[in-house]
Structure 1
Amino acid sequence: MGAVSGTGALRAHLIEARLAGTLATPREKSLARYRLFAARDPRALLGLEPAGRWPVAEVSRLMARRCGGPADPARTRGPNVIDPDRTLAALDRFADRIAAAAARRAPVLLGTGHPDRLLEFYAALAGALAAAGCAVVTPGRGVPVRMTTRCGVRTYVLDYVRGVALVRGTGVGGASGKGRVHTHSPLPVRRALAAAAECGGPLPELVVGDHGWICGAGQLGFEAIGLADADDPGPFVGEAEGRVCAVVPLDDAVAEVHYRPLWRYVLNRAELPW
């Protein structure tokens, strides 16, 4: 994919790649997740323990404010929608946190539950932060992570690729062809942070990721920023309650190449080389 420069060009790219604007996923999927979140289902909480009640109607209103879709939970049909201008504004907040971490040479932990979609995005940030003098920490490589799946409890392992944490299958169901597992669980970040504490650190001053990586870290009091889709209210509730610092609304499941202009935009705004 060619370079995308300037806010206007990036906005057009967000819409064309369906990262924002009208998305491929249906609104019904979002509402189902909002109901799970309101019921405090761990699959939707992603490691967050909300302080507020968050009934379905309030979750829907929050997601409308953060993502730009319809606020009425009675509107049950049609595609998911994310306002590209909200994505751009959130990218600026995200980039400013990256810049601040680079300026103070903070230790940083990056992790993803979408390794086959978002690995390059986070790896680019990891490389730039390392070049700026930040310690990109990789605690707990190889430790087992036992997670509940639809097929029962499975054991995976914590791994790192280009400085980015993920969980890898061990010949069991749920692994992709590369052995990298898609997960919403907060258990990987908990294991990574526990491993960092057990070995004497350094503990990260910033956690960058998605799903359980940012909700789980934010719940434990770490500065956390990341990406989230319109059907995942956990990070946005965490942001609203002050436990997650910056969340970028976008579709988190398009082809990996489409995120390239986003990390380039972030690094340019943060004045970091790529």
Structure 2
Amino acid sequence: MVSVGALRAHLVDAKLAGRVATSREKSLRSYRLFAARDPRMTLGLEPDGKWGVEELLRLMADRCGVSPDPEQTSGEDVIDPDCTVAALDAFAERLGRAAHDRLPVLLGTGHPQRLLGFYASLAAALSAAGCVILTPAYAPGVDMRTEFGVRRHLIRYVGGVAVVLPAEERGPVPVAGGPGVHTHSPLPVRAVLAAAAEQGGVLPALVVGDHGFICGAGQLGIEAIGLADADDPAVFVAEAEGRVSVAVPLDDAVRSDYYRPLSRYVLNRAWLAQ
């Protein structure tokens, strides 16, 4: 079992929190783009509030622990590990209630190379507790904008977790942490939910993930929880406006094995450890 003290130390040592690799310049640029309602940063969210750069900086200081000083424009950004621990506790509590109620759950990630193992461990534990882990088929795929123009992508499931692949990669995804694209788009979760509805299947009572998966689900009125970096303001705005239930602040691009203590901590707190 991972103690709170050990978890906090690991967060700082692995640079999941504390001083993180995300630069202050990148975070501030993301806040400016979100304030301008750039779809690359809104992640499918249509915010109710004004959310200019000053409001975003105050929100991110409160939810993540970044510096509230607008004059600090360079260097490493900071995530308060105590904010991360508190959010992981809330995340675990929500997972525990989902397991207790045996709710249908959809999991998806736009960071498959980094976070797939984290989510797959949650999917396995929820399934063992009696939850239905949803994997709606979506054969036609989804057209997504890339740096090379609009390209067709497919949605596949690895360990019960939805990931996005270029259409040319039609074979099965062999292992967690394998192929998959990094995406902020809400189009994959919209496509999955549309497929479930068209097939007369079960819709999720809870979506677990990141980026467009949780903001896109939350915008559609489906409860969502997940992880977000200091340069992902949309997730924290969605939490502040009540469309994401829990947003866990951490660096979402460190080595995949660094997230294992987090999954162990969450599963123990949720009484889902096997």
TM-score range, shorter chain: over 0.9
- What residue in structure 2 maps to residue 230 of structure 1? 230
Shifted more, 246-255 versus 135-144: the winner is 135-144
1:73 Cα offset (Å): 2.4
1:151 Cα offset (Å): 1.3
Residues 1:118 and 2:115 are matched in the alignment: yes
**Aligned pairs (5 A) from 1:170-249:** 170-171=167-168, 178-249=178-249
**Aligned pairs (5 A) from 1:71-150:** 71-150=68-147
Q: 8 Å contact 1:56–1:73 — kept in the other structure?
A: no
Q: Which runs of 5+ in 2 are unaligned?
A: none
C-alpha separation between the residues in 2 aligned to 1:198 and 1:221? 18
1:74 Cα offset (Å): 2.5
1:140 Cα offset (Å): 2.5
Question: Cα RMSD over matched residues?
Answer: 1.4
Residues 1:36 and 2:33 are matched in the alignment: yes
SS at match of 1:106: coil
One-letter code aligned to 2:237: V
C-alpha separation between the residues in 1 aligned to 2:273 and 2:53? 43
C-alpha separation between the residues in 2 aligned to 1:127 and 1:231? 29
Q: 8 Å contact 2:112–2:179 — kept in the other structure?
A: no
Q: Deviations over 1:154-183 (max 9, x none)?
A: 1110100010001011338xxx99431110
SS at match of 1:70: coil
Q: 8 Å contact 2:134–2:160 — kept in the other structure?
A: yes
One-letter code aligned to 2:44: G
Residues 1:58 and 2:60 are matched in the alignment: no
1:142 Cα offset (Å): 3.5
TM-score relative to the length of structure 1:
0.95
Residues 1:154 and 2:128 are matched in the alignment: no
How many residue pairs get aligned? The number is 268
C-alpha separation between the residues in 2 aligned to 1:141 and 1:90? 32
Percent identical among aligned pairs is 65
Q: Deviations over 1:45-65 (max 9, x none)?
A: 000000001000110110000
1:143 Cα offset (Å): 3.5
C-alpha separation between the residues in 2 aligned to 1:122 and 1:171? 25
1:25 Cα offset (Å): 1.9
Q: Which runs of 5+ in 1 are unaligned?
A: none
SS at match of 2:25: helix
